[in-house]
Structure 1
Amino acid sequence: METRNLKYFLAIADAGSVTRAADTLGVAQPALSQALTRMERDLGVKLFTRTRRGAALTPAGQAIVEDVRLSVARIDAASHRAREIGAQRGGRLTVGFASAALFDVLPRAIAALREAVPDVQLALREMSNAEQAVALERGEIDLGLLHTPVTVGGRMREKLIVRERLIAVLPTSFQVAQDGRVTLRELAERGLVWFPQDQLPVIRAGILSAFRQAGCEADIVQDANRSLTVLACVAAGCGVSLLPQSVRTLQFAGVRLCEVSDGDALPSFELSAIWPHRSRPALADRFAALIVPRGPD
């Protein structure tokens, strides 16, 4: 079905009249009527009831009008994006990102993109890992900055940006040893504030396994779905936590950060870029190429 006919359908639905729709579109009324007839013939249903007062949507027309409106909007957006990128003038890029990307990776990546593509229209959406995976599969974001390993359906590209060690996040009232370090057993005694099970299940399992290897069990006493929320909960005395080394770039009242003396078994905290694999380079490919990977901390 031609996009033009879909737009004709929407114009008639919005105007409530073939005549008024033809005037708005600047096309001849007979041509518009013929296009509508072809569309109804293709679908095998009547979309409008036509009277002297105009044209009213039938139940079948009402059932599809919003879907058609969304489809046309997406087609128009895709066409505009293709023209802009083809002309190297910029384009629109929607990036999802986990909270940890805010500390260092995202600011550097945005600066590099704006220098390389000055007219880029950048939309940023802070999202959990699980939310980004779904958004990538649905095409709602062009690229995700999220923690790996993670499962994303469809053909995707992946680029590891940084692999960090975990450090302890403690309330300022927490008494640490003279060397400024804390043990896993000391952390286990206070309980952990961490991300929900559906967000980072592999890392969560690795953390709990490290505690068991140290001869103690740790309980997740408070779920928090963003890094800043984790910090707030620790500051409030809900428990302690483990976050990537890059959290040191923040100054958050009520918390202190320190190394874990027996934390060798703790999993690394990876941040990667994931984006759809396309037959031709897209703006997401260019953005990913501009992100400079960082060595392990």
Structure 2
Amino acid sequence: MELRHLRYFVAVAEERHFGRAAQRLHMAQPPLSQQIRQLEAELGLTLLTRTTRRVDLTPAGAAYLERAREILGAVDAAAHEAASIASGRRGRLLIGCVGSATYSLLPALARTLRAELPEVEFGFRGEMLSPDQAAALADGTLDLGLLRPLPDSSGLSITHLRQENLLVAMPKDHRFAARRRVRIPELDGEGLVIHAGSGRSAMNAMIQHLFEEAGISTRIAHEVAETSTLVTFVAAGLGVAIVPEPTAALAVPGVVYVPLAGTPGVELVAATRAGDESPLLTRALAILASLSAD
């Protein structure tokens, strides 16, 4: 028995006429009649009663019609599901974001992905430090990461998204709060609120490097894990912080953002597992690139 036998039988059962069923199937009537007889012979059942004017279902034929429709429906659904997955319109995608991307990019990304790929199940993890995202990509906990470049990107495929200027977040009553810009040497002696170090934060390493290049030492007042906590500590007057420009989307009362001059800024990249050529990932990266450009 083949699927075509089921399709032939359903057509005849629904049309109640071999001639109309043959026209519907775009085939001649004699081969259709022969295929139905073969099906009945294989089952050892009479599915149809034939007269010169019409065809009727036997009780066994009525039961078989119901199951045949279910089988053909399941086969068609399986083909649709496979095609959706192969084209990147269906599946599951887990996305991680560093702090500034969580507040500036994640909301628009989530809305756009859900609108353009409604059959895809998305999961998001915000406020993830870059090394944590790299580890999660490696063990399969994440499929896509929005992070800062890392010294070791082995095993990852990296796509540049945008270059973000740096700002100094400071309490609104800070002596530099009314300035148009601030330079690194002017922060000598300032207590810094900074993301956790010891290799846990790409931003921490970059800020330490900027201070070393300027010939001044960092005075770390507080180390935190999340960008929202960092900005809240600044609002509380516990220090100043160097942050990517999109962090200003966190409009925390009592915090002023002043551009940091003389620095190249910091890169935001998308990272996936090397060799992962999932059509869904390709679609998501295209959407992400468009949003980043905007």
Residue 151 (1) aligns with residue 148 (2): no
Name the TM-score, length of structure 1 as normaliser.
Answer: 0.63
* Equivalence for 2:238: 238
Aligned match of 2:22? none
The residue type equivalent to 2:282 in the other structure is D
Shift of residue 178, structure 1, vs aligned partner: 5.5
- Where does residue 111 of structure 2 map in the other structure? 111
Deviates more, 1:272-281 or 1:159-168: 272-281
User: Structure 2 matches for 1:71-220, cutoff 5 A?
Assistant: 85-86=85-86, 89-126=89-126, 127-154=128-155, 156-176=156-176, 179-197=179-197, 198-201=199-202, 203-220=203-220
Using the TM superposition, give the Cα deviation of residue 153 of structure 1 relative to its aligned residue in structure 2, in angstroms: 4.3
**What is the identity, as a one-letter code, of the residue corresponding to 1:268?**
G
Q: Distance in 2 between matches of 1:149 and 1:114?
A: 30
Hey, which bits of structure 1, 4+ residues long, moved more than 6 A?
none
1:47-93 C-alpha deviation (Å, 9 max, x unpaired): xxxxxxxxxxxxxxxxxxxxxxxxxxxxxxxxxx9775137552111
Q: 1: CA distance between counterparts of 2:142 and 2:82?
A: 16
Distance of 2:269 and 2:88 partners within structure 1 = 26
CA–CA distance in structure 2, aligned partners of residues 145 and 82 of structure 1: 28
**Which whole-Å deviations, capped at 9, do the CAs of 1:257-294 have from their partners, x for residues lacking one?**
1123xx31x35222111112346433222211211264
Distance 1:172 1:113 in 2: 37
Partner residue, 1:269: 266
Report the CA distance shift for 1:278/1:214 in structure 2 as closer, same or farther (over 3 A): closer
Moved more, 271-280 or 221-230: 271-280
Unaligned runs of 5+ in 2: 1-80
Supply the distance in 1 between the matched residues of 2:212 and 2:284 (Cα, whole angstroms): 41
Q: Which residue of 2 aligns with 1:53?
A: none
Report if the CA contact (8 A) 2:228-2:250 is conserved: no
The DSSP-based 3-state class of the residue aligned with 1:274 is strand
Q: CA shift at 1:114, angstroms?
A: 2.1
Is the Cα contact below 8 Å between 2:192 and 2:240 reproduced in 1?
A: yes
Residues 26-48 of structure 1 show CA distances to partners (whole Å, capped at 9, x for unaligned) of: xxxxxxxxxxxxxxxxxxxxxxx
| Aligned-pair identity (%) | 29
Deviations 1:232-269 (A, max 9, x none): 11112221110011122221012111123xx31x3522
- The two structures, once aligned, show a CA RMSD in angstroms of 2.7
Cα deviations by residue, 1:106-138 (Å, 9 ceiling, x for unpaired): 223223322321111111112221211111000
Number of equivalences: 211
Alignment of 1:3-14 (within 5 A): none
Aligned to 2:228: 228
Q: Is the 8 A contact 2:177 2:258 kept in 1?
A: no
User: What is the CA-CA distance between 1:174 and the residue it aligns to?
Assistant: 0.6
Evaluate the alpha carbon distance shift between residue 177 and residue 158 of structure 1 in structure 2; reply closer, same or farther with a 3 A threshold: closer
SS of the residue 1:96 aligns to: strand
User: How far, CA to CA, are the matches of 1:219 and 1:254 in structure 2?
Assistant: 22
Whole-Å Cα distance in 1 between the matches of residues 244 and 208 of structure 2?
16
Report if the CA contact (8 A) 1:133-1:151 is conserved: no
* Structure 1 residue 210: Cα displacement: 2.9
Letter in 1 for 2:85: I
Give secondary structure in 1 for the equivalent of 2:160.
strand
Structure 1 counterpart SS, 2:217: coil
Which stretch shifts more, 227-236 or 213-222?
A: 213-222
The equivalent residue for 2:254 is 254
* Residues 147 and 268, structure 2, Cα contact 8 Å, conserved in 1: yes
Task: List gaps (5 residues or longer) in structure 1.
Answer: 1-80
Residue type at the aligned position of 1:292? A
Are residues 282 and 295 of structure 1, via their aligned partners in 2, closer, same or farther at CA, if it must alter by over 3 Å?
A: closer
SS at match of 1:253: coil
8 Å CA contact 1:162, 1:272 repeated in 2: yes
Q: Which secondary structure does the structure 2 equivalent of 1:101 belong to?
A: helix
Q: Distance in 2 between matches of 1:159 and 1:288?
A: 9
TM-score normalised by the chain length of structure 2: 0.63
